Amino acid sequence: MSFDTEKEKYSMEVLDDTDLALLRLLGNNSKLTIKELAIKVNLTPSPVFERVKRLEEQGYIKKYIAVLDAEKLNFGLIVFCSIRLKHHDKNIGYEFVSDILKIDEVVECYNISGDYDFLLKVHARDMKHYQDFVFNKLGSVTSIGSTQSTFVMSETKHSCNINF
C-alpha cells in the first residue's frame, strides 16, 4: 500500500473495519495473542499479524502497557496539578517539559489552553508525600509561576480506549 501524502498516511480512511476491530480489541486487552485476535476477527493468524504490524509501524498503536493498581502499590493519592508558567516563551516551555520528564510522581503531562498552561496527573503515597513533592520537586522547577492542586476523591471511569 502506498501513501500519496503524510496526512493520508495517518488518516482513518486507510483503516478498514477489521483494522478498527483489531484496535478496539487490543485497546481493551493488549495481551491477546495473534491467534486469539484472528479468531475474534474471523481471519487466519498470518494476515492478522501483518495488520497489527502495519498498525504499529504507522503509529496507530504507540505501545503496549500494563495498567497498574496505584492503590495496591501504595500510590493511591491522585492529584491533578494545574501549572502556570512564569513567562510564555519557547525556552521556558522546553525547560519546564524537560524538568517534568525527570519527575517520577508525574504520570501524565498535558499542555492545555485556558487559565493554566499545563495539567499534571500526579501519584503520591499520601498527603505528606504530595507535600514533599510540591516543595522539593515542583519547587525546584524554576519555570513555574504558580500551581493549583485538585485532589481526586474517587475514580468514576478509567479507560485507555478511544471510541471510534
Output the nine-digit C-alpha cell for 25.
480489541
**Residue 13 belongs to a domain:** yes
- 37 and 22 in contact (C-beta within 8 Å)? yes
**Residue 48 belongs to a domain:** yes
Residues 81 and 53 in one domain: no
pLDDT at 17 over 50: yes
**Residue 97 belongs to a domain:** yes
pLDDT at 123 over 80: yes
Residues 95 and 126 in one domain: yes
Residues 81 and 133 in one domain: yes
What CATH number does the domain containing 16 carry?
1.10.10.10
Which residue type, as a one-letter code, is found at position 13? E
Q: Could you tell me the pLDDT band of residue 5, with boundaries at 50, 70 and 90?
A: very low
Rg of the Cα atoms in the chain: 20
Query: Buried b / exposed e across 15-52, counting CB within 10 Å, b at 16+?
Result: beeebebbbebbeeeeebebeebbeebebeeeebeebb
Rounded to 10 deg, the angle between the 45-57 and 17-28 helix axes is: 80
Output the nine-digit C-alpha cell for 124.
503520591
DSSP annotation of 12 reads: G
**Residue 142 belongs to a domain:** yes
Which residue type, as a one-letter code, is found at position 135? F
pLDDT tens profile 19-36 = 999 999 999 999 999 999
pLDDT tens profile 85-110 = 998 888 899 999 999 999 999 999 99
pLDDT tens profile 59-85 = 999 999 998 999 999 999 999 999 999
Give residue 95's domain range.
Answer: 77-151
Per-residue confidence (pLDDT) for residue 79, from 0 to 100: 98
Q: How many domains in the chain?
A: 2
Per-residue confidence (pLDDT) for residue 153, from 0 to 100: 95
pTM, 2 dp: 0.81
**Residue 71 belongs to a domain:** no
